[in-house]
Amino acid sequence: MEDATRALGKGSLPPGPVPEGLIRVYSMRFCPYAHRTRLVLRAKGIRHEVININLRNKPEWYYTKHPFGQIPVLENSKCQLIYESVIACEYLDDAYPGRKLYPYDPYERARQKMLLELFYKVPHLTKECLVALRCGRECADLKLALRQEFCNLEEISLTSFLGEPPGGATAMAPHHRRPQGGARRASSFHRLSGANLSWVLLGEPERPSKKTRASSIRAFSCSGGGNPTVLFYCLS
């Protein structure tokens, strides 16, 4: 998901009121939780604006949007605030017209939520791996646990139970799930270091190069000095 918006940090001025007819999402370019919400906004064709937050150096005013300064947060023109990624996604599906991403049938809706529950360990393990790498700590156990979670998910995706998200391509579940082949990509974390790791993990305002691209659907790709291209798939 391309996003050239600079992240707002401490000392920045708060944005003005949300224009009528728009919804605002407070986000961070590389946060899988925020990207869940942004993918749903796109899938439903909802007009929105993105305000990126520097999570390492959060603006003082942002704590009026979320009591703990977390992302994502939705804000509408009525100054109503909705946070927590899954709650925000459900709100968007219920509050806005267009194709429904959650099924109407209670059983099918429950099946989608069961599928999402199977994925919830992945973003946390991913963050722990990246933090350990950035701090120079050993993280073999974390990488093994993450790889196992991916293997479990891919095994489940090959079975008939929860294998095809209810609702097909218009279902909510695909907007929360990781790209296929995640277990193989988990083994690439050791290649992230220095500016590349800081850029991916913290959403630094400056990109390491003009050729850097970010896509929550396909991959993060960034170059570092004379090293080969580093691929990091966003786990959303």
pLDDT per 10-residue tile (average), the chain, 236 residues: 75 96 95 91 95 96 97 97 94 92 88 79 82 88 87 70 47 49 48 45 41 35 30 32
Cis peptide before 179 (omega within 30 of 0): no
Q: What is the largest CA-CA distance in the chain?
A: 54
What pLDDT shows up at residue 174?
52
CB 1 within 8 A of CB 35: yes
CA distance linking residue 217 with residue 35, whole number of Å: 9
CB 164 within 8 A of CB 173: no
Q: Which of 51, 52, 50 is nearest to 30 (CA)?
A: 52
DSSP string for 113-157:
HHHHHTTTHHHHHHHHHHHHHHTT---HHHHHHHHHHHHHHHHHH
Distances from the Cα of 29 to the Cα of 19, 103, 224, angstroms:
22, 29, 19
This prediction's pTM: 0.61
What pLDDT shows up at residue 124?
81
Q: Are strands 48-52 and 23-27 parallel, antiparallel or unpaired?
A: parallel
Angle at 174 (CA atoms; ends 169, 179), nearest 5 degrees: 120
Token digits for 84? 């927590």
Q: Which of 31, 89, 139, 234 is catalytic?
A: 31
The one-letter code for the residue type at 172 is M
What pLDDT shows up at residue 201?
42
Please provide the distance, in angstroms rounded to a whole number, between the alpha carbons at the two ends of the chain.
11
* DSSP H or E run through 220: strand 220-222
Q: Decide if 129 is catalytic.
A: no
